[in-house]
Structure 1
Amino acid sequence: MLFDTHLHIVDRQALDYPWLSGAGDLNQDNLYDDYARDALRCGISNVLHMEVDVAPARIDDETNYVREISRRAGSLVRGVIAACRPEENGFADYLERSLADPFVKGFRRVLHVAADDTAARPLFRENIRRLSATRMSFDLCVFPYQFETVLALVDHCPDVCFILDHCANPPIKDGMDDVWRNGIVEFSRRPNVTAKISGVIAYGDLENWSVDSLRPYVEHTIESFGWDRVVWGSDWPVCTLGGGLTPWVAATHALTSGCSAEERDKLYQANAKRIWPM
């Protein structure tokens, strides 16, 4: 069974998404029921909802919207990775409220859509450090040109559990380069970072990607981090741009076909259950 650590639900009637107007084919509703139909067929048993960069004033509304979905009979949703703004003074109070809410499992602030110096700002760094020794994780969604700044953030917060989304957004379409390859190794040297095997089909040829085109990037990430520090995610609905959930799950099984049952289980679900207890 698979634990999906990276589902996005988009409901434009319920929430506001300022970025969607420039998102091309993603500018549409992508609702839980559409996801769940394929997820159940693919053997997905547990899901964390990943924030979708709603308008800042709607962050709490997004969490509550997903909470209601989790209360439906048979729902796969077990919690949320909530949006946040660590660059702002209100983060400390937001963290305290979130720590009292067991449905919130962690936070994400997408850094490649923020100003380049965001992760280097003292307030941002100190606010992320507030997560030290809490149950909250922090997802890192960054591009290779940001690696140096984000590695410094990780070093500043050695007791924070960081999750590196999408194999750190590798340049699959352009081909392997040393910046990404060496960056993965550097992140893996930080024991408080876990890599998420997700999202990679979005960085290749969307219409003609293959398992072999993804393999070097997925295998390098897993070899660098080891089986105890990798988790799996669908990145739905972004994965629909490259064929959908079912092809990505099939690719995942193909990419790990030569691995042991214990190794596959760690990636598929066991590590996620340890990081985010239900």
Structure 2
Amino acid sequence: MTVRVDSHVHLWNRATDPQDWIDPQSMAPIDRDFGQADLRSMLDETHVDRAVVVHASNSVEESVRLSRLDPEVVAGLVAWVDLTGDVVAQLDLIRATATVPVVGTRHLVQIDPDPEWLLREDVGRGLSALADEGMRFDLVVRDWQLPQARTVASRHSDLIFVLDHLGGPPAPGEDLSEWESGLRNLASRPNVVAKLSGLISGLAPGSWQVDDLRRVVEIALTAFGAERLLYGSDWPLAELGGGAAGWGAAAEHLLAELTDEERRRVFGLNAVAVYSLD
């Protein structure tokens, strides 16, 4: 059976969950609300069955709302909880009225005021609680934070970490060496997988070609292998770089030399296994 899963999408209603990071001028394509109908249209356009929704704000209330989505469209939710607080109580609050499975959590580490948030002792206790709950933890970090991510993954070998957006590689044409070193070191941890996502979200439409992304994808493949990579669109942020359909086509082209089974894994089966999706 072929199952296609988009492992990384966002939805937001700014009346209940303001997204103050959206700049109306530089981010005009996403300067609006995105709901389930929009998601369904995007999945149809990219020939994907269902998606994993990832929170957009560090807010339990937003996660509660996202947990009530349609399971026919949404396969799972990566929620937000305060890892320095009572993790189980917060997860129970989100799960109490959930219609989709809560499969993991994430924190916006890359913009946290504490540049070493990942290494904090109280955060470590929260990560241990996630492991006890059978959750996954999505890592959204900058390239200079990859060594911290490796340290944390080593400390919590019983927790599966999911690296979002390949750890934020530099833009096409820039030096990849520091990012590549950090990515390969992190990939040496067997409890870490990575999302092939977010590579066009910071690029202007028409400013990139498929081959501009080839070296980054090649590095990710050699570091993680096809068995530990998950396709994700990073929609609707992908609209900033030309659209989810364009990225999906690029990903298909960049992975064309994989075997049929390897492509099935990257484009769906790995997400099902990592997040224990139905």
> TM-score, length-normalised on structure 2?
0.89
In structure 1, the partner of 2:255 is 256
Q: Does 2:226 match 1:227?
A: yes
In structure 2, the partner of 1:90 is 86
Q: Does 2:22 match 1:36?
A: no
Tell which deviates more after alignment, 192-201 or 117-126.
117-126
Flag the 1:156–1:97 CA change in 2: closer, same or farther, 3 A.
Answer: farther
Question: What is the one-letter code of the residue matched to 2:4?
Answer: L
Question: What is the one-letter code of the residue matched to 1:32?
Answer: Q
In structure 1, the partner of 2:74 is 77
In structure 2, the partner of 1:199 is 198
Structure 2: how far apart are the matches of 1:205 and 1:257?
25
Instruction: Quote the offset at 1:121 in angstroms.
Output: 1.1
**Greater relative contact order (CA < 8 Å, ≥ 6 in sequence):** 2
In structure 2, the partner of 1:112 is 110
Q: Which has a greater percent of helix? A: 1
Is the CA contact 1:17–1:53 (under 8 Å) kept in the aligned structure 2?
A: yes
Question: What is the one-letter code of the residue matched to 1:84?
Answer: V
Tell which deviates more after alignment, 33-42 or 219-228.
33-42
Tell which deviates more after alignment, 257-266 or 92-101.
92-101
Is the CA contact 2:201–2:238 (under 8 Å) kept in the aligned structure 1?
A: yes
Deviations 1:136-157 (A, max 9, x none): 1000000011122222111111
In structure 1, the partner of 2:270 is 271
Is the CA contact 2:4–2:269 (under 8 Å) kept in the aligned structure 1?
A: no
Is the CA contact 2:64–2:94 (under 8 Å) kept in the aligned structure 1?
A: no
Q: How does 1:68-217 map to 2 (within 5 A)?
A: 68-70=68-70, 75-86=72-83, 88-95=84-91, 97=93, 103-114=101-112, 115-217=114-216
Instruction: Quote the offset at 1:98 in angstroms.
Output: 5.5
Is the CA contact 2:6–2:231 (under 8 Å) kept in the aligned structure 1?
A: yes
Deviations 1:229-256 (A, max 9, x none): 1111110011000111110111111111
Is the CA contact 2:203–2:240 (under 8 Å) kept in the aligned structure 1?
A: no
Instruction: Quote the offset at 1:198 in angstroms.
Output: 0.4
Aligned with 1:159: secondary structure? coil
Question: What is the one-letter code of the residue matched to 2:85?
Answer: N
Instruction: Quote the offset at 1:132 in angstroms.
Output: 2.3
Size of the alignment, in residue pairs? Answer: 270
Instruction: Quote the offset at 1:32 in angstroms.
Output: 2.4
* CA RMSD across the alignment: 2.2
Aligned with 2:11: secondary structure? coil
Structure 1: how far apart are the matches of 2:34 and 2:128?
34
Instruction: Quote the offset at 1:52 in angstroms.
Output: 0.4
Is the CA contact 1:169–1:203 (under 8 Å) kept in the aligned structure 2?
A: no
- Structure 2, unmatched stretches of 5+, are none
Identity %: 26
Question: What is the one-letter code of the residue matched to 1:107?
Answer: T
Aligned with 1:47: secondary structure? strand
Instruction: Quote the offset at 1:41 in angstroms.
Output: 2.7
Question: What is the one-letter code of the residue matched to 1:150?
Answer: A
Structure 2: how far apart are the matches of 1:67 and 1:113?
24
Deviations 1:120-145 (A, max 9, x none): 11101121122225421000000011
Aligned with 1:217: secondary structure? helix
> TM-score, length-normalised on structure 1?
0.89
Instruction: Quote the offset at 1:70 in angstroms.
Output: 0.9
Deviations 1:43-66 (A, max 9, x none): 110211000015x3xx23x23433
